[in-house]
Structure 1
């Protein structure tokens, strides 16, 4: 474990000792599969359903649902920014990203449906589509004199999706 991960884990252990040391071995197992472990722990420990989960699939569904919710939140933010922006290049970029993120939310909803029914091929296809559409939004801002006002949120979504996919990849087909 690298020093930053160790520090983050110690901080989490200090803040959430009962939640981490008791009743969360499944969450710890799931987050152990991920690259963004701290984000995984933050996401799952804040969800009461994950503490009641008895299977890795339930944890995967919860993680995937949080990813879908984040995508829908970003869609709403892009839409609000688009509606309040003055005419010009920024408004056009926000308009395109709003459309892309509407699609991202829809595709992640579909991925969640496939996941609940055990169609892992469908999940992987939809997760790939969501990634491509997120990247299309990122490309809208390349070469512009401005950057995406939601770049931190979109980066977090990317990390959340990566975590969900890592957990899903450990499910038994």
Structure 2
């Protein structure tokens, strides 16, 4: 057989193997997101959030996924704070919501710090506290009969926090 032909087939085989390995790696990463999200209450939001983020799409372990979800929850809290600051409504309900989301953001920032130190039980505590802050805001707005876009954002925030709790529990082996 022609030596050039042998070299050609050798290169062709190598390239095919590399592409196949890359495809397998991509599938494993997609499966990581899918399997992690399957163990959450809000599977669709979990998949949508993690698959939209380049860091989680490249993740090789659940720790990265939990961190990304935590970052998204913190971002959502800050978005709500921004919406609250734009409101002209100076009612007690909106003032309380503003304070609640200030507290929620602080708790999530504490969670980020705890996560970096692998203090997962602290992460669970802080994220749960942030969810309580959000619930207090929602309850206050509902009691005042206030229709507000904050309620929709707040629901998403609570769902993201639930996802963080589920992923952190998986990471911590609970």
With the length of structure 1 as denominator, give the TM-score of the two structures.
0.78
| Structure 2 partner of 1:95 | 95
Matching of residue 39 in structure 1 with residue 45 in structure 2: yes
Alignment match, 2:68? 62
Q: Once the 2 structures are TM-superposed, how far is the Cα of residue 55 of structure 1 from its aligned partner?
A: 1.1
Look up the match of 2:155: 155
- The offset of 1:68, in angstroms, is 0.8
Give the match's secondary structure for 1:170: helix
Give the gaps of 5 or more residues in structure 2. Answer: 1-25
Contact kept in structure 2, 1:79 and 1:95, CA below 8 Å: no
| Distance in 2 (alpha carbons) for counterparts of 1:165 and 1:113 | 15
Is 127-136 or 60-69 further displaced after alignment?
Answer: 127-136
- Aligned partner of 2:118 in structure 1 is 118
1:48 aligns with 2:54: yes
Taking the aligned partners of 1:127 and 1:33, their CA distance within structure 2 comes to 18
How many residues align structurally? 148
Q: Which has the higher helix share?
A: 2
Alpha carbons of structure 1 residues 27 and 142: separation in structure 2 relative to 1, 3 Å: same
Q: How much does 1:24 deviate?
A: 1.1
What's the CA shift for 1:110?
Answer: 0.8
Q: Output the CA distance in 1 between the equivalents of 2:145 and 2:153.
A: 20
Aligned pairs for 1:15-30 (under 5 A) are 23-30=29-36
Larger-gyration structure (1/2): 2
In the TM superposition, residue 30 of structure 1 has moved relative to its aligned partner by 1.3
Q: Is the 8 A contact 1:79 1:94 kept in 2?
A: no
